[in-house]
Amino acid sequence: MASTDIAPVLPEGVGYGVVVGIGFFFTILMGFISWGQNTYTKYSTKTSEEFNTASRSVKPGLIACGVVSAWTWAATLLQSSTVAYEYGISGPFWVNAAGATVQIFMFSVLAVKVKQNAPMCHTFLEIVYRRYGAATHIIFICFALTTNILVASQLLLGGSAVVTALTGMNVYAAVFLIPTGVCAYVVLGGLRATFLCDYSHTIIVMIVILYFMFDVYTRNELIGSPTRMHELLARASELRPVAGNTNGSYLTLKSNGGLIFGVIQICSGMGTVFLDQGYWQRAIASRPRTAVRGYILGGFSWFAIPFGFASTLGLAAVALTDNPAYPTYPNPMTSTQVSSGLSAAFGAATLLGKNGAVALLITLFMAVTSSSSAQLIAVSSVLTFDVYKTYIKPEATPEQLIFVSHIMICAFGVVMATFACIWNAIGISLGWLFLVMGLIIGGAVFPAAFTLCWRKQSRIAAILGCLGGLAAGLTAWLIEAKVYYGELTVASTGSSYATLAGNMAGVLTGLIISVTVSMIKPDNFDWAITRSINATIDAVPTPPMTSNASERLPTVQLEDAEALEDELIIRHPERLNGDFKLALILSTVLTFIMVFLVPMPMFFTQYLFSDGFFKGWVVISFIWVFFALGACGLLPVWETREFWKALFKEVFSKKGKA
């Protein structure tokens, strides 16, 4: 573990209290919610379809919330603050716009395609298996599980580093205790449980971000206004100019380091979205007509989190480094502290003392646990359906499938914690892992997307694309590290240029090989084959109360009506052609706006933010976080209002299934 060399702000007991106490609280809550779900709705957590796909019935507000939550890693908060500390305002902007929001927009295209071309699948790997057979399937399973191991262990690495820095809690205890509660509530409630925890956790994260934003920009005595922040950043630019930024300033988007980071992020984010079953699972869980809306709304809402958080705490860390209250004063942070993601922690503790530390601890814990729950249920589905059911027991009963799902959740909890311990023990930091993961998995990005979207991609093109991309990514990474820095060390392999070369080589080689080989000898795949995956599963789960409709609970009648609408769409996938076009147009236009239209004019003109412009930037960040809170907090309640009314009546008339 990278040493922080700073005395913890909070007692060790607070660390254990948060990690064990909140985990325990959510397990009890989930037990209660699962009981309510099994009693008052037709979706029973005891069926494998509900456990792994939430019966494909989730509405867009909750899908958006689930996407935000799965994509809000510890690193989202910590790394965006790190790049704010290193590159100024371009850091949080690039991490968001260039780095990560655009992949969520792009994924909306895959979300609608999955509804059209394989509406009853459980995992994207089932599509690979049906289209290309076992060898390709096994290769893609390796890429998918590598993605999940890297992401999940990185979540724990970042989360535990901050818990340890703030409370002095033993880092290995934190690494194992954080996923324990999450495993318990995911086993209890399955995918729908993770959506409900996503909802509560995401709202808490957003509220705490607003707490930090209001404090920093309206009342904190060390900063207290955008104008004061602007002054302090201008002073920091003179004292510690940033190499590669216009005039060394923290107040510009013209940042060479920020730009490089952005490009790495685009490549790496494509891998960690497109190859993570968690995002496919959200598309699979969505109602067919609203999948696109869920992802576009999710992308917009997610943008607010690192933008708001890092433009507050990351910039505050820059602004306050020269303040005697800053933990490292009179020195700037060491590179180890920066790479461990501690600028947000130091910023929060300087601004708000113990309150800031507790608020940050809770935010981090919420981010880590909700994204971990997405990882656990995603991997469990892959191991259950793509390994156990496909290769070990094809005739497995639903009871056996759900039993295996439970075991796999716990097993992956141990695996992710073990990997996080390994990274700690061998001195791999959050920053290193964040930059390197994309180059390992990037080769499979386009072959995976084309499997569902392009009838011409051949089996050999998919295989060669993945393996060629992997080889190119590793080769470019190591050669660049050796040639540019003269040695192969953790520092040189974690450098910007080496990871940039590796990430770009991985993703682009996968694309070029797949397209070239497919053009030479194209496939002509018939999507009817993948549409038949799991065709024997009822698109509309049979209500447990088999009596006539008038005797069914009002909640169940509502669910039946929605399920019938969805089944009609599944039978007529051409009805989603409009959604597909919409996803294509929105993802292209929004990507262009975020990656080029907004930042590039300011990059090329080397614009330095004036006080007034910076104020506007801050106001936009406030508006964006409020919008995200509305989308994730209010929309899911609004769109289920009929259900809540019906449930209220049922509970008070004591009418349940049992």
| Contact residue for ligand NC(N)=O among 68, 75, 319, 505 (CB under 6 A) | 75
Nearer to ligand NC(N)=O (CB atom), residue 30 or residue 338: 338
Site for ligand NC(N)=O in 98-157 (CB under 6 A): 100
- 213-217 long-range contacts, CB within 8 A, separation 24+: 213/308, 213/312, 213/621, 213/622, 213/625, 215/351, 215/352, 216/312, 216/313, 216/316, 216/351, 217/312, 217/618, 217/622
Nearest position to ligand NC(N)=O, beta carbon: 76
Nearer to ligand NC(N)=O (CB atom), residue 269 or residue 413: 269
Residue 607: how many other CB atoms lie within 10 Å? 15
Binding segment toward ligand NC(N)=O, per CB under 6 A, in 72-80, 157-165, 527-535, 576-584: 72-80
Q: How far apart are CB 303 and ligand NC(N)=O at their closest, in Å?
A: 11
Angle, CA 43 vertex, CA 39 and CA 45 arms, to 5°: 80
Nearer to ligand NC(N)=O (CB atom), residue 71 or residue 432: 71
What phi, psi does 58 have (nearest 5°)?
-85, 140
- What x/- string results for residues 81 through 100 when contact with ligand NC(N)=O is judged by CB under 6 A? -------------------x
For residue 212, the cross-strand partners are: none
CB contact at 8 A, 70 and 234? no
Does residue 309 touch ligand NC(N)=O according to CB under 6 A? no
CB contact at 8 A, 474 and 488? no
Nearer to ligand NC(N)=O (CB atom), residue 73 or residue 250: 73
Nearer to ligand NC(N)=O (CB atom), residue 266 or residue 540: 266
Residue 588: how many other CB atoms lie within 10 Å? 14
Nearer to ligand NC(N)=O (CB atom), residue 517 or residue 628: 628
Nearer to ligand NC(N)=O (CB atom), residue 110 or residue 608: 110
CB contact at 8 A, 462 and 514? yes
Q: In this structure, which amino acid lies at residue 112?
A: V
| Contact residue for ligand NC(N)=O among 269, 469, 543, 636 (CB under 6 A) | 269
Nearer to ligand NC(N)=O (CB atom), residue 189 or residue 269: 269
Binding footprint of ligand NC(N)=O, residue count (CB under 6 A): 6
Nearer to ligand NC(N)=O (CB atom), residue 178 or residue 563: 178
Distance in angstroms (rounded) separating the CA atoms of residues 140 and 134: 10
| Contact residue for ligand NC(N)=O among 40, 43, 71, 580 (CB under 6 A) | 71
Binding segment toward ligand NC(N)=O, per CB under 6 A, in 4-12, 70-78, 171-179, 558-566: 70-78
Query: Could you write out the DSSP letters of every residue in 178-244?
Result: HHHHHHHHHHHHHHHHHHHHHHHHHHHHHHHHHHHHHIIIII-SSS-SHHHHHHHHHHHHHHSPPTT
Read off the tokens for 22: 């909140």
Q: How far apart are CB 69 and ligand NC(N)=O at their closest, in Å?
A: 11
Distance in angstroms (rounded) separating the CA atoms of residues 65 and 49: 21
Binding segment toward ligand NC(N)=O, per CB under 6 A, in 28-36, 73-81, 209-217, 564-572: 73-81
Q: How far apart are CB 237 and ligand NC(N)=O at their closest, in Å?
A: 26
- What x/- string results for residues 581 through 620 when contact with ligand NC(N)=O is judged by CB under 6 A? ----------------------------------------
Residue 462: how many other CB atoms lie within 10 Å? 28
Binding segment toward ligand NC(N)=O, per CB under 6 A, in 13-21, 71-79, 390-398, 616-624: 71-79
Q: How far apart are CB 95 and ligand NC(N)=O at their closest, in Å?
A: 7
Nearer to ligand NC(N)=O (CB atom), residue 83 or residue 359: 83
Nearer to ligand NC(N)=O (CB atom), residue 269 or residue 468: 269
For residue 655, the 8-state DSSP code is: -
Q: How far apart are CB 375 and ligand NC(N)=O at their closest, in Å?
A: 12
331: left (phi over 0), alpha (psi -120 to 50) or beta: beta
Read off the tokens for 281: 């699972």
Nearer to ligand NC(N)=O (CB atom), residue 73 or residue 143: 73
User: Which residues neighbour 25 within 8 Å (Cβ) at sequence distance 6 or greater?
Assistant: none
Q: How far apart are CB 98 and ligand NC(N)=O at their closest, in Å?
A: 11
Angle between helices 398-426 and 171-214 (to 10 degrees): 90
Q: How far apart are CB 153 and ligand NC(N)=O at their closest, in Å?
A: 14
Distance in angstroms (rounded) separating the CA atoms of residues 406 and 386: 15
Residue 139: how many other CB atoms lie within 10 Å? 19
What phi, psi does 343 have (nearest 5°)?
-65, -35
Q: How far apart are CB 420 and ligand NC(N)=O at their closest, in Å?
A: 17
Residue 486: how many other CB atoms lie within 10 Å? 9
SS3 571: helix
Binding segment toward ligand NC(N)=O, per CB under 6 A, in 69-77, 136-144, 409-417, 445-453: 69-77
Nearer to ligand NC(N)=O (CB atom), residue 369 or residue 451: 369
Q: How far apart are CB 25 and ligand NC(N)=O at their closest, in Å?
A: 25
Distance in angstroms (rounded) separating the CA atoms of residues 421 and 431: 16
Q: How far apart are CB 217 and ligand NC(N)=O at their closest, in Å?
A: 23
| Contact residue for ligand NC(N)=O among 37, 52, 55, 76 (CB under 6 A) | 76
Binding segment toward ligand NC(N)=O, per CB under 6 A, in 67-75, 84-92, 210-218, 221-229: 67-75
Angle between helices 124-132 and 134-167 (to 10 degrees): 160
What phi, psi does 146 have (nearest 5°)?
-60, -45
Does residue 73 touch ligand NC(N)=O according to CB under 6 A? yes
Binding segment toward ligand NC(N)=O, per CB under 6 A, in 18-26, 68-76, 515-523, 597-605: 68-76
Distance in angstroms (rounded) separating the CA atoms of residues 58 and 420: 32
Binding site for ligand NC(N)=O (CB under 6 A): 71, 73, 75-76, 100, 269
